[in-house]
Each structure stands twice: as C-alpha cells, then as structure tokens.
Structure 1
C-alpha cells in the first residue's frame, strides 16, 4: 500500500474516532454539485486538524498501526451468531423498546436461526435510523401503511401470546444485544425484507443485500442528483 493510501486510510479512521464521519452518505439534490473543490478540500483539511487534535496519543498510535498494515484492528467484537454467542449475552434490561423488538423477532422470525433473527433486528433498527420511518423501535414495529401493517402480526386480529418461553428468551437476548450496540454486519443497511413465498412490487426496484434463512433483505436504490 502506498504512503498516500495509508495516509488516506488514517484520515478516515481519525474522523471515525472523533465523530467526524457518518456511517453512510446519500448523494441527493441537497448536495451542491457545483461547489468549489478547493473550498471543500480546505474544509476537509480543517476538519482533519480538529479530528487529530481531539485524539489522545494512544488513539493516534492505534490508527497508525491499523493504517500501516502491521497490526490487526483490535476491539471489534466477533459476531458468531451461534449458541455460544447467545449464551454469553447478559440478561437484557427490561424496557418498552426491548419488548417491542423482542416481540417482532418472536412473532416474525422465531423459526429462524440466531443469525436470521439478528438480521430482522437490523432491519428494524436501520428503519429507526432512517428519516423515512418512525424514530423509535415501537413506532417502526407498529407502523401502518397501504391499508395494512408493516409487520403482519400487529394487525392480524389475534392476541400476541407468548407460548414458547425458550424461544421468547432467545428473541429477548438477541433484541437486547442489538439494542445494546451490537454491530449491524449482516444486511448491509437493509430496511426491508420478505420471504421467497411473496414478491412485493418494491422488490424489483430495490437492491437485494442478503439472503439469510427464509428472508430476503433489501435497501432502497441510491438516489443521486441524476435520478
């Protein structure tokens, strides 16, 4: 890797540590395509200096090690999504958001693997982060639309009865881990999913990001100034 490429990688990592980088960027009409490159570069370098100044020596050393390729990134949790991973998870702290997420995993995906349920949780949390959806887990889970519900169990006319205690405990643990900040590594930012038994109209326009268990995961196509 060239010195320039290593420096560029270091800058990105520094921004991430200092809160200067967003996980995702959407190019839209709100961007200024005619903006001066010189102006943007000057602003970028200024942000870089601020980012570097906000880091301590240990953080800077860690970035240097990662960018040099001489060491492996440390501190990133290994997500195995298996029984051992589930067993070491702490008992989740009760909250309304946990209850809503656990119910969604239980009623929508309790027949799925741990990985499959975590993927469904990703979709729900990705929706919470998206301006196109309600800003809470309960709001996302209970959202209506197009004469129905986003999650069928919420409006099927039947009471939500937990009849499988062990399956409920598993869903609650997964929900707690995802709400607690477990990385969303499975669906690449998906905000929609469906089973292969149906073919929603939107699935032909959206980008397929993953297939996990009996669910296909999608995200809307990137919108740019040209479309």
Structure 2
C-alpha cells in the first residue's frame, strides 16, 4: 500500500506527472541536508501517485529471481491486454494463494499447480517473448511483490474471464475482462 512521504522526492519518468500533497502554510520545513536515510527507510517512504508511476519506476534486471519470473509469466499470459489494475489483481490472486499455503508455497508452485492456469502445460510455463508487454508484466510483478500499490482484488483467491460465467465465492472486484472472487 502506498505510504505518505514528505522527506523524499520521487523522480518519475517525464510522461508520468508527479503529484505532491500541498503543505499547510505554517508547516515547519525540515533540514534534510544532514539527515541520514537508510535504504530500508527510503523503500518504506516511497509513495506513488498512480499505479502507472509505480510500474514505470521498476527496474528490470536480467537476473530476476524465479518467483518474479513466474509471477510475471502469469501476468503476461493471463492479463497482458488488461489495464494495469487488472494485471496487478491477477498477481494479487497468485500472491494470496501463496500466503494461504493451500495452493503452494511459492508463486511458481501456485502457477504450475495442475489445472489452475490454462497456459501451463505439463507443469511448465511457456517462454515469454522479450517485448514491451513482458517488460510491463515484470514491472507489475515487482510492484505486487513489493506491495507498492493496493490492488482492488486484495482479498481475492480466484478469478476467471468475464465470459466464463460466475464462479463460486464472494465477488471482490471486476477489472477489465476478469472477475475476482474470494
């Protein structure tokens, strides 16, 4: 979930406007020139004005971990044409399943569990191409793993395509072409 910050100015790409909260006229100004800030404090204080800004701020390394790649693969194959909020919601379902331990203990175990995702064949995910949609999926996966943005499907454990009809469970959200349930 985004946290409020007044100590750090986030540098966003030029296409994403920064939105800074207005400070009261009588607010004291802190001298930050001598303050020591640890990397953990920086991570805690970063707030994003939009999900697009959070996604745009993610660097993608070629040596990404297996769970990040699995999560990005699921986002890519399940939701690459969906809005960013829908892609994040798909990631949230997978992470919720991981936390529940009923579906597997890692994102890769959840995704490759038999019969859960139609793109998985023989317990393996297909290779994703190196394109803009893949880079977006990797960035959304990083946002989800960092819990850097609140998803509309925060409590969902299931989702299906809107055309598949209603699934059992309580409807949590409908985003793009997917419906999310818990």
Question: TM-score per shorter chain, which class?
Answer: 0.5 to 0.7
- Which of 1 and 2 has greater Rg? 1
TM-score for the superposition, normalised by structure 2 = 0.67
Question: Is contact 1:86–1:173 with CA below 8 Å preserved after alignment?
Answer: yes
Q: Indicate whether 1:110 and 2:80 are aligned.
A: yes
After TM superposition, give the deviation of residue 186 of structure 1 in Å.
1.5
- Compute the RMSD of aligned alpha carbons: 2.6
Do 1:127 and 1:191's aligned partners in 2 also have CA atoms closer than 8 Å? yes
* Secondary structure of 1:152's aligned partner: coil
Cα distance 1:196–1:161, how it changes in 2: closer, same or farther (>3 A)?
A: same
> Do structure 1's residue 152 and structure 2's residue 152 form an aligned pair?
no
Which of the numbers 52, 57, 63 marks the counterpart of 1:88?
A: 57
1:172 deviation in Å?
0.7
Q: Does 1:196 align with 2:165?
A: no
TM-score where L is the length of structure 1: 0.54
> Measured at CA, do residues 188 and 180 of structure 1 come closer, stay the same or move farther in structure 2, by a change above 3 Å?
closer
User: Hey, what's the Cα distance between the residues in 2 that align with 1:79 and 1:90?
Assistant: 18
- Comparing both chains, which one has the higher relative contact order based on Cα–Cα distances under 8 Å and sequence gaps of 6 or more? 2
Match for residue 210 of structure 1?
173
Partner residue, 1:42: none
Aligned mates of 1:176, 1:135 — CA distance in 2: 18
- Report which of the two has the higher share of helix: 1
Structure 1 residue ranges (4+ consecutive) displaced by more than 6 angstroms after TM superposition: 156-159
